[in-house]
Each structure stands twice: as structure tokens, then as C-alpha cells.
Structure 1
């Protein structure tokens, strides 16, 4: 019996870390700010700091005092559907820019379809951090 108790003490334990709780009712689509979230140390959530969820966008509504599960979060959408964006193609010293309309929403690094407003041609490109869509050569 003593060996069993000793064995249980030696097994690795999951360290209790805090869980993020909503300080107010947060609708879906909200980009979390430091005032929207508080860390509750008495709950298991795997968070060490509130900064791990700040800047993320909620996919679902979270009520005040409820736990914000990591599955509720996604990268914030930088480009919205039907938004006018700059389409950029660059190769060596050549840089071509055109105005286009985003056919889907996307966050940084995602590939979205964009329609060129001048030619009505649809192209696919990767969303850059500044909101432009970078088209690569096929």
C-alpha cells in the first residue's frame, strides 16, 4: 500500500493553471482586450497569463463570468467579405498593384479569393499583415 501511494506521488501531475473568464457578456466576433478577460487561478484552463488570449477573436458568444475555452477563439479577421482590398503581385523589381473586392473573409496568412475590379478576374492570394492580398505566380 505504501508503494502504491509513493508511486502515485511520483507520477507526473498536470499543473493547475488559470482559466480565462469573461468580465462582461462578449458577443461573437469580439476581439478580446485586456479589460474583457480576467484570470481565475482556481480553475484548470492551462493559461499562465491573460496575454495568451488578448487579441484573439471570439467565434461564439460568452456570458459574463463564464470560462473562455480555447476552442472559442480564432485569429482576428483582417479582411472582411466584400471589402475593397489592394491586390499585390511582386517579382524582383516588378510590383503591380490593383484594387479588388474580397470574396471571402480572412485573417493574416489565410488564402482568400479576390475579384479584380478593373478586369473582373478572380484570383487567389494570401492576406498580409497590412491587409493587402499578395498574389503569387502559379
Structure 2
């Protein structure tokens, strides 16, 4: 299995096209805990198919595991996501921009999100729940 992982990492590093049999899917080689970034060395091809799984490892490298991942099980699309920039219960700045007007407020994240992902936040001033989009700098843009 180690030689397979080394070859796999070399293919990703060189940017060579990955070819594989139709009945293979991307799996992890060791258990990965939720919240851990996924590296090329963590991945290998396994036998089997999954309708909502990955067939190209380049689609997974750099993403974060949203759930615990185990060897021998295909990685599904909903199991990974963008690296977390806002953690649950974190204090965040809410930003509302419209026609040259900018309003800033403080809120508490009700979930976790990566850059560009939707997130629910409780506005601490009004105690209302709003939905916005997480930014890479940790702020939440409200539409």
C-alpha cells in the first residue's frame, strides 16, 4: 500500500493525468478525523464505486474532512468541504453592504463554514438569526 501511495503522490506533484479502472474510487489510507485537512499522502485508489464519491484525487486534496473518514470506505462529496474559517460559537463580524451603506454588527456563529459557504449567525444586538456567506477573513456577508 505504501508504494501505491508514493506513486499517487508523485502523480499529483507532477500534474500528470490520472488514469484508473472504471471500478475504482478514492479512499483514505488511514483514519482521518473530522476537521483535518486532506493531503495527497492520505489518499489511495480502492475498488468499488460510489454514486456520490470522487474518482479524481485532485478534487479532494486541500479540502477538510467534515466527518471521520475510514480506510476502505469511499469518500463522498458531503464528507469533505472547504477548510473552516469560522468555527461554531465563534464571535464574528456581520457585514451588510447596500448602495454605499455599510453596517457592521457582532454575531455568534451557529455552525461552522469555509470561505464562500453559507452560515447561520445570531445577531447579538437583536437576537435574531440571519444567514450569510463566510468570507476568508472570518467575517460574514449578509445579503
Both proteins in one fold, TM over 0.5: yes
Give the superposition deviation at 1:91: 0.5
- 2: CA distance between counterparts of 1:61 and 1:111? 21
The yes-or-no answer on 1:95 pairing with 2:102 is yes
Based on CA coordinates, which of the two structures has the bigger radius of gyration? 1
Superposition pairs for residues 23-102 of structure 1, below 5 Å? Answer: 23-40=29-46, 43-45=47-49, 47-63=54-70, 65-70=71-76, 73-76=79-82, 77-102=84-109
Structure 1 unaligned spans of 5+: 1-14
Aligned residue pairs, count: 117
Q: TM-score, normalization: structure 2?
A: 0.63
- 1: CA distance between counterparts of 2:23 and 2:58? 14
Q: Which residue of 2 aligns with 1:127?
A: 133
More displaced 10-residue stretch of structure 1: 102-111 or 20-29: 102-111
After superposition, the CA RMSD in angstroms is: 2.7
Structure 2 unaligned spans of 5+: 1-20
